[in-house]
Structure 1
């Protein structure tokens, strides 16, 4: 396979994953947007987390909410739990990384908030602990994941909304999760600020 064919293969894999995801996530995306809007309209905030590229996506999501997505509007309260390097590394040094997100949720989280967990590869102890901490604080959880995150299932409850992409290829899942973030931001903007004129 030559390099031009490899480029074509990358694009085709991305298109295929997005196409396969679309019929699976419509209802859950709407429910996720409703849950986020309810938290924001009650004076709560959106907290997000993930590992690796998913941590970057959690930060990107917080940016789009705090600043803006596609139109000028007031900022919305959102924080990526992975963004504070001093806090994350300090907790990790003392607690073997397991509670880096859970500690912030237990300290800052309120029942009016919501937690968005991004998992594009496989779950990890710190994500399970974050979900457990959210459950303890009665904070709704939105899990944007894929087939490899099955171990998180043991921590989910009736308030958990799962937006799952098919397949197990991390990079394809992160591409699709980025699209899901854009869809969520669009739905949130419309529900809180109305249709753009």
Structure 2
């Protein structure tokens, strides 16, 4: 395979992953938008976490809420749990890296808030521990996973929302995760501005 064919294959594979995801995930994605809208307009907040590329996605999503997406609006409450290096290093040093998100959910999460838990494998221990504490504190979880959902898929409650990308390759899962996070932002804005019902 030459380099041009290899690059073309990436576009083809990404388009296929997006198509398959659209068939399976539009309904739970719409439910996520409705849940986020209800929470964020009733004094609740979104807490988001992930590792590596998923950490970047969590941070990006919260930036769109607090700042803006494509249209001016009031800021919406959100915290990316992977951005405070003092907390991450203090908790990681004192309790271990697996505790870096759970400690923050325990400190900041309140009934009525939402945890956005992002893990392409569905098996990130620190994200799973954050979900466990979120459940103990009566937060609803929106989990973005792939590869069949992993352990996270098995620990979610009926009241949680699972957005599991039907793909095994990490890069394709991350591409769909970013699209869904942008779609959530657009949906929230549309509801805020009365563009959709």
TM-score by length of 2: 0.95
- Given that 1:105 and 1:130 are in contact with CA atoms closer than 8 Å, whether structure 2 keeps it comes out as yes
How far the C-alpha of 1:148 sits from its partner, in A, is 4.7
Tell me the matched-pair count: 196
3-state SS, counterpart of residue 163 of structure 1: strand
Gaps of 5+ in 2: none
Q: Which shows bigger deviation, 144-153 or 166-175?
A: 144-153
Could you list the per-position Cα deviations for residues 52-89 of structure 1 after superposition, in whole angstroms to 9, with x for gaps in the alignment? 10010000000111111111111111111001111111
Partner of 2:135: 135
Distance in 2 separating the partners of 1:187 and 1:160: 19
Partner of 1:23: 23
How far the C-alpha of 1:155 sits from its partner, in A, is 2.4
Partner of 1:126: 126
How far the C-alpha of 1:121 sits from its partner, in A, is 3.1
Paired residues for 1:165-176 under 5 Å: 165-176=165-176
- Given that 2:121 and 2:150 are in contact with CA atoms closer than 8 Å, whether structure 1 keeps it comes out as no
Gaps of 5+ in 1: none
3-state SS, counterpart of residue 98 of structure 2: coil
- Given that 1:144 and 1:163 are in contact with CA atoms closer than 8 Å, whether structure 2 keeps it comes out as yes
Distance in 2 separating the partners of 1:89 and 1:194: 43
Could you list the per-position Cα deviations for residues 14-67 of structure 1 after superposition, in whole angstroms to 9, with x for gaps in the alignment? 111101110100110011111111111220111101111001000000011111
How far the C-alpha of 1:158 sits from its partner, in A, is 2.1
Partner of 2:49: 49
Would you identify which runs of 4 or more consecutive aligned residues in structure 1 move more than 4 Å? none
